A and B are shown apart, each in its own frame.
Chain A
Amino acid sequence: MLKEWLTRLRFLISPIPTHEIDDELQFHIEQQAQEYIAAGMTPQEARRKAVLAFGGIESARAQSHEQRPSFFLETLLQDVSYALRQLRQSRGFTVTAVLTLALGIGANAAIFTLVNAVLLKDLPVVDPETLVRVGNTNECCVNWGANNDNSYSLFATDDWHHLQKNVPEFEELAAMQSGIGQITARRDKTQESARSVRSEFVSGNYFRTFGLKPQIGRLFTDEDNVEGAPFVAVMSYDMWQNNYAGDPSVVGSTFWVNTKAVTITGIAPKGFYGDRLSSTPPDFYLPIESMPVLANAQHVHIPDRRWLYLIGRVKPGVAMASLQAKITELVRQSFAATPIFSDAEGKRAVAKAKAVLSPAGAGIQDMQDSYGSKLKLLMWISGLVLLIACANIANLLLVRGMNRQAEMSVRTALGAMRARIVRQLLTESLVLSIISGMTGLVVAYAGTRMLLAMAFPGAEDVPIDASPSGVVLAFAFGVSVLTGILFGLTPAWITSKANPTDALRAGTRTTTSGASLLQRSLIVLQSALALVLLVGAGMFIQSLNKLRNIDLKLNSANRYILHFDPQAAGYSPAQVEALYRTIEERFHTIPGVQKAGISAYTPMEANNWGDGVQIQGQPNLHTWASWVRGNTEYFDSVGTHVLMGRGFTTHDTSTSLAVAVVNQSFVKKFFKPGENPIGRRFGSPGPVSSGDFEIVGVVEDTAYNSATWKDHAMYFIPMTQRIPESARQRPIEQDTGLYAGAIVIQTERPMDNMQSLARQTLAAINPNLSIVKFQTFDEQIADLFTQDRMITRLMILFSILALLLAALGLYGVTSYTVARRTPEIGIRMALGANRGSVVGMIMRGTMLQTAIGLCLIGIPVAWFCVRYIQSQLYETKGMSLAILAIATLTLAAAAAVAGLVPAQRAASTNPSQALRTE
């Protein structure tokens, strides 16, 4: 039995040697001849008769051969090696085809990798599908009061406890800080300097909810998250590897976190990047209850300060709709118990409050929300590029198929079966597409890296893998093989249908047998699609330019912005006034420094503090404004001009009267036209608090938070003055609003060494003062345009690719037409046509196809598609005629060049030679 199986295996792998069959058949014939000789024939006669009697030796041999399974493998190998030989022979065709397909497939695979990683991937946790988030928006950081849409995603510590107690449908309900922050950490008993790291405060059941096991050590328990418990932290795997080389003694060691001793209990599992996909995943996880001390965060225990995201694991079989109703009811109860919702307005808001449950398998969907629409757009665009690439390949294969008609005719005439020829051609296009697919993977890998670098410039720890996953591999190969089959079959079918006698009969002289209708249609389609992409790129360039040219009402020349954290360095709010004065003095001693602004945050960074505003003596409008603290040189350092009254002076100190400077939008929003705001008072709503600040000046609307936030009402208060309302409520030690976040340095000339100078200056004041982030003002502004820049660059890239491909396709088909029409052109020239008219004739055909593509399909489609990208564009309505004109002209020019080259070749046809070559 075993032997038989071995025989079978041998047959499968090793093809039977042809000579064996030949020997066997030869033996048969000889035996027959022997018989005839015995019957009295001469040897020659006997042999002749034996051969005749045997019949078709060839067919017997072939059929015997085909009985073996190795026959299939053998022909396949034959076909493949023949295909490779063919491809090697026509290098131009191969390189063009492989590059075309590889770029098309690579671009798609790259985008798909990103889509897969950002939009489709779950958190690396146990059973992600049973995780549910309470809330569905990216409301962030610390918030209070009613939300306009009545939907809540942020919750107070008390709300979380209330839900945890009353919703047994959750196996676990974890809470986590919504705004990931920075802490300063330094390992005890080592030489390392304090470093600024990202931290997230989380509940004790955080890791348990996700079902995670520690890499080493232990993760949090509920006992860790109790007020007064010893301070503990869990370190991320990446932090552990990158900064401590995976040293196991890190677990159990002490770190100075914001100058307080914290013990590392364990390392989070490898691959876990927190509860949300982000380019800045947390390095340290800390229990919520340690936040008031470690980060002096008072909001943790203020009942109406909402700052937590909630993610729970639901028990099996719980219905989401009824759970959502129940949670909404509990949230209303919890809100109703807080002072902020206790007035009539508040009660109305509570009655309408709702918490929407959303799937949390992928965690908090911040990045998904911000990149989703752009990634989808990119997918469409790369899909269009692939379509153009496929049209090109189809054309190339068609042209090639036609050129090989003679070869196929000869083969058919020699007895090759049609199936065999089709199979051969199909093998060829499959080999081509597999080579392209592999090249495409290289393009995909490089492309994904490029996309990541474009999407998250400067980020090192983006938890997105650039190497294509199995799905992407399958996708890329699927697309390439499908293209190969689809566009390999058509020419194969057309050529195999060729009547050998027709094709072999030389001298088919025609005037119209240029490219087929199919080919022309492909060209028309290509130019139309390329136009759509060009128009799209144009629209994005226009939008980005508009964005860039928005007057931000600031001056970024020779300005450097340094983010720091005095709180993390151990300063109490009562000590910061002296610190700020020292910082101002020390920075002014650096030669070249003109202004040293200190502020809570700066223009054009993703930060915003807001509060309700009521003008004294006027009704509460329930509106609010953003506010920023700044020192005396702050307005000058960022380039904000004072329009009325004054900015801050050295007389505005912690002991002087509380003053504020407001911006123009603030004046427009809260005062009647013509009213003089100077000297008026305002504050947070309330009979007393509405008189807290006296307006002493008006400044222009410098852009904060984003370039497109129009009519953004803001007020500014001196760096060291307490807000009277919070001074009434709590002691200065708890007034974290006094902490500055940034120093803006204006210098007289560009200073490349500013970063090290600033570091030294700060360290000289206090070694614990570390730099959280250092950028030029221009870099900070550019960061906010990252997404717009990325998509614009990609649009440009893709449209150039499309243009190239379309031109290539046009060139290929025109060349082919010219080659086919050489005899005809020869006759025309022999009859007196000059070069000009020949060029004209060829160009007419080429330009006609392009014109049809542009006018009949391209422009209407582009017109139609613009509405879909409009939402991605800044202040753009409808199609810009200028862009349409530029795109059309560019494409027409490319088409003209692509047509002119073969047209010139046609015109240099030597008539006598052309006529003789037949």
Chain B
Amino acid sequence: MPATDLLQGTLDLLILRTLALESMHGWGIAQRIQQVSNDALQIGQGSLYPALHRLEYKGWIQAEWGASENNRKAKYYSLTKTGQKQLQAELEDWGRISTAIALVLK
């Protein structure tokens, strides 16, 4: 399965961006990122869940147990206010860096 290695720290950004639309459980987040990136980005479970717990501890996302689509108990993550601010900040950062890299590569 071809997958692009994620840059350090990008996983957090991807998770925050994904959660900005709606609250989601872990599996959903992984699926969403894979779909949106046309299968280019595959998130390993081994890094997804520790990342979710880390973000939760940092207070950027919060978790809540709810019922899933097929009526199973699942843990739903959503963005907090600090998380939204953080997302904004990271998006700006990302924009700056990617523009810069693009300039160099041109």
Contact = CB atoms under 8 A, between A and B. Distances in A.
Interface of A: 1, 4-5, 7-8, 11, 16, 20-21, 23-25, 27-28, 30-32, 34, 54-56, 59-61, 63-69
B74 A27 contact: yes
Contacts of B49: 21, 24-25, 28, 60-61, 63-64
A24 B74 CA distance: 7
A4 B27 contact: no
Contacts of B56: 7, 67
Interface string B53-88: 110110100100000101011110000111000000
Contact of A55 (B27, B44, B59, B68): B44
Contacts of A34: 70
15 contacts: A1-B82, A4-B82, A5-B59, A7-B59, A16-B53, A24-B75, A27-B26, A27-B73, A59-B46, A60-B50, A61-B49, A63-B46, A64-B53, A67-B53, A69-B57
B27 A27 contact: yes
B28 to A, nearest CB: 8
Contacts of B99: none
B29 to A, nearest CB: 10
Contacts, number: 72
A794 B57 CA distance: 58
B46 A68 contact: no
B25 interface: yes
B83 to A, nearest CB: 9
B45 A28 contact: yes
A24 B62 contact: no
B50 A64 contact: yes
A67 B57 contact: yes
Does more than half of chain B's interface fall in helix, strand or loop, or is it mixed? helix
B59 A8 contact: yes
Interface in B81-102: 81-82
A914 B56 CA distance: 59
A55 B57 contact: no
Given A23-B75, A31-B27, A68-B57, A7 B46 contact: no
Nearest to A56: B46
B34 to A, nearest CB: 11
Contacts of B53: 16, 21, 64-65, 67-68
Nearest to A59: B46
A55 B46 CA distance: 7
Contacts of A56: 46
Per CB-CB distance, the 8 closest pairs between chain A and chain B, nearest first, are A67-B53, A4-B59, A63-B50, A31-B27, A67-B54, A64-B53, A28-B27, A64-B49
A21 B52 CA distance: 11
B50 A54 contact: no
Contacts of B30: 28
B45 A54 contact: yes
Contact of B72 (A27, A54, A55, A64): A27
Given A4-B59, A24-B75, A28-B26, 8 more contacts: A7-B62, A8-B59, A20-B75, A21-B53, A24-B74, A27-B27, A60-B49, A61-B49
A65 B56 CA distance: 12
Tell me which of A28, A34, A54, A59 has the highest count of chain B C-beta atoms within 10 A of its own C-beta.
A28
Nearest to B45: A54
A60 B75 contact: no
Contacts of A59: 46
B75 A67 contact: no
Contacts of A60: 45-46, 49-50
A56 B74 CA distance: 21
Contacts of A55: 44-46
Contacts of B26: 24, 27-28
A55 to B, nearest CB: 5
B80 A32 contact: no
B50 A66 contact: yes
A391 B50 CA distance: 45
Contacts of B45: 25, 28, 54-55, 60
Contacts of A32: 27
Contacts of B57: 8, 11, 67-69
B70 to A, nearest CB: 7
A31 B26 CA distance: 10
Contacts of B46: 55-56, 59-60, 63
A835 B18 CA distance: 80
Contacts of A8: 57, 59
Tell me which of A24, A25, A68 has the highest count of chain B C-beta atoms within 10 A of its own C-beta.
A24
Nearest to B72: A27
A661 to B, nearest CB: 94
A887 B52 CA distance: 70
A31 B49 CA distance: 15
A34 to B, nearest CB: 7
